[in-house]
Amino acid sequence: MRAPYGLNILDNCLTCPVREEHLFCNLSVQAGQRLNEIKSTAVYPKGATLFIEGQQSRGVFVLCAGKAKLSTSSREGKTIITKLSGAGDVLGLNSVVSNRPYEVTAEMMEPGQANFIPRDSLLQFLKDNGEVALRVAEQLSRNYYTAFEEIRTLGLSTSPSEKFAKLLLSWSSQSPSNQAPQTDGPLQIKLTLTHEEIAEMIGTTRETVSRLFSDFKKRQLLQLKGSNLLIRNRSALEKIVQS
């Protein structure tokens, strides 16, 4: 079914063409049917907020299409983006399982679809389906390692250039299978983040990110044309990180 923003609405989790690619969605027919019964589907525009840091958790959002950024802010107003989420990710899972307020704010970076599952329905779903509980345990484990890597990047990196190089390398490792990362070959990535958002990912300022882009261009480590980012030398980026 067509919807605003040119999206194809995925009403039925059992007939979703990409469900087998995503951890939480790849369920048996019985569990998939139950999931259809307890979820509600909605389309969100760019900039829509799914939930806010500190808000009492009321359920999870399963991203079907689009991207969302998860961020946390200090009392002084400084913001750090903790993760960029894509299709198949379950947002708010940690908070719902532990019955604690959402620890981050989730905002759509582009138009997309998300299925909402109320907390009580999700917990009963887990009690009734062991395979779903296992999927959730795996997702929580992934969330832990993502947070661990974020702490390593922000806490152990000694310079903004090292943090920036790490971020570029992480993007290149998430490239499509038909563009497998190469040691020296160029790799093109679609850049959807502003300099301000990149600064919020590596704990620095927008001005510093602009200088880093300029410096890395001069060193021929990357090339930027519009929203197309070309990583030209992975091995040089790895040397920056190792140093």
**Contact 55/102 with Cβ under 8 angstroms?**
yes
Distance CA 27, CA 130 (A): 11
The CA-based angle 13-50-113, given to 5 degrees, is 35
**Domain range spanning residue 191?**
157-242
Q: What is the pLDDT of residue 199?
A: 94
**Which of 93, 9, 70 shows the shortest CA–CA distance to 44?**
9
Amino acid letter at 20?
E
Judge if 104 and 200 occupy the same domain.
no
Examine the domain organization and report whether 149 and 49 are in the same domain: yes
Percent of the chain's residues with pLDDT above 70: 92
E strand residue ranges, 2-46: 40-44
Tell me the C-alpha distance between 118 and 96, whole Å: 9
Judge whether residue 136 has pLDDT over 80: yes
Answer yes or no: are the C-beta atoms of 190 and 227 closer than 8 Å: yes
Query: pLDDT tens-digit profile of 5-64?
Result: 777 787 888 888 777 778 788 888 899 899 999 999 999 999 999 999 999 999 999 999
Phi, psi angle pair for 18, to nearest 5°? -120, 15
> What are the tens digits of pLDDT across the range 99-133?
999 999 999 999 999 999 999 999 999 999 998 99
Q: Say which CATH number the domain at 113 has.
A: 2.60.120.10
- pLDDT recorded at residue 106: 97
The pLDDT, as a whole number, for residue 227 is: 86
pLDDT of residue 236: 93
Taking only the tens place, the pLDDT of each residue in 60-112 is 999 999 999 999 998 888 899 988 999 889 999 999 999 999 999 999 999 99
Please report the pLDDT score of residue 107 as a whole number.
97
Residues 90 and 170 in one domain: no
Across the beta sheet with 222-225, the strand order is 187-190, 228-231, 222-225
By C-alpha distance, which of 20, 164, 140, 154 is closest to 90? 140
Give which of 23, 27, 43 is closest to 35, Cα–Cα. 27
Do 122 and 236 sit in the same domain of this protein? no
Read off the amino acid at residue 55. Q
How does pLDDT run across 159-215, given as a tens digit for each residue? 899 999 989 998 887 655 434 444 556 788 888 899 999 999 998 999 999 999 999
Residues 119 and 176 in one domain: no
Q: Which residues of 87-106 are buried (b: 16+ CB within 10 A; e: fewer)?
A: bbbbbbbbbbbeeeebbbbb
Structure tokens belonging to residue 5? 């923003």
69 and 170, same domain (yes or no): no
pLDDT at 101: 97
Domains identified in the chain, total number: 2
Whether residue 96 is found in the same domain as residue 62? yes
